[in-house]
């Protein structure tokens, strides 16, 4: 697969609708050609301690952020016709479907591929966490749980193993 979009969401709390940041990395002909990152005002708009500890974002960061529909209006034209790739794609796909439903937006039935599942089939590693698989694929993930950094790591993995 040479053309795809790697995507990663971070959430503010246990609700999949609470996306608070998104990163996408666009790959064409096996090369990264574009990327996009945005904070998002989460729905519902509260942060739990566990999520905050993971990604470091708080209400202070997203209180003035755009809504999901505003952010997606910028992303949709960039990814049109391309499959989406994520590490542990069921999480990101569920977030996307949930927030589309919550915002009463028509979901375009994006095709998702999962670098976690594929890496378990093609690599022999001690674990299959994003940073471990990325390192095996030659990418040093320095800012884990930043949506754009994670999307870039996923893109590098997908270029290597998909």
Beta-ladder partners of 24: 7, 36
Rounded percentage of the chain residues whose pLDDT exceeds 70: 100
pLDDT at residue 12 in the model: 98
Mean pLDDT of 44-63: 97
pLDDT at residue 159 in the model: 97
- What total of structural domains would you count in the chain? 1
pLDDT at residue 52 in the model: 96
What does the mean pLDDT of the chain come to?
Answer: 97
Phi, psi of 33 (to 5 degrees): -115, -15
CATH number reported for the structural domain that contains residue 92 in this entry: 3.30.420.10
The DSSP secondary structure of 94-148, one letter per residue, reads HHHHHHHHHTT-------EEEHHHHHHHH---S---HHHHHHHTT----STT-HH
Please, is 108 exposed, middle or buried when counting C-beta atoms within 10 Å of its C-beta (0-12, 13-18, 19+)? exposed
Please, is 97 exposed, middle or buried when counting C-beta atoms within 10 Å of its C-beta (0-12, 13-18, 19+)? middle
- Which domain does 75 fall in, by range? 4-161
**Report field, pTM of the whole predicted structure over 0.95:** yes
Mean pLDDT of 27-50: 97
Mean pLDDT of 104-110: 97
Beta-ladder partners of 97: none
């Amino acid at each position: 697969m040479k053309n795809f979009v790697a995507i990663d969401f971070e959430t503010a709390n246990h609700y999949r609708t609470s996306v608070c940041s998104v990163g996408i990395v666009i790959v064409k002909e096996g090369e990264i050609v574009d990327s996009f990152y945005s904070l998002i005002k989460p729905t519902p708009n509260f942060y739990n301690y566990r999520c905050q500890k993971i990604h470091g974002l708080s209400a202070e960061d997203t209180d003035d952020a755009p809504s999901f529909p505003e952010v997606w209006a910028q992303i949709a034209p960039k990814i049109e016709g391309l499959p989406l790739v994520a590490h542990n794609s069921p999480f990101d796909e569920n977030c996307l479907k949930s927030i589309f439903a919550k915002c009463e937006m028509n979901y375009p039935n994006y095709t998702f591929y999962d670098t976690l599942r594929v890496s378990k089939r093609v690599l022999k590693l001690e674990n299959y966490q994003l940073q471990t698989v990325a390192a095996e694929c030659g990418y040093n993930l320095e800012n884990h749980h930043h949506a754009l950094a994670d999307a870039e790591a996923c893109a590098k993995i997908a270029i290597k193993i998909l």
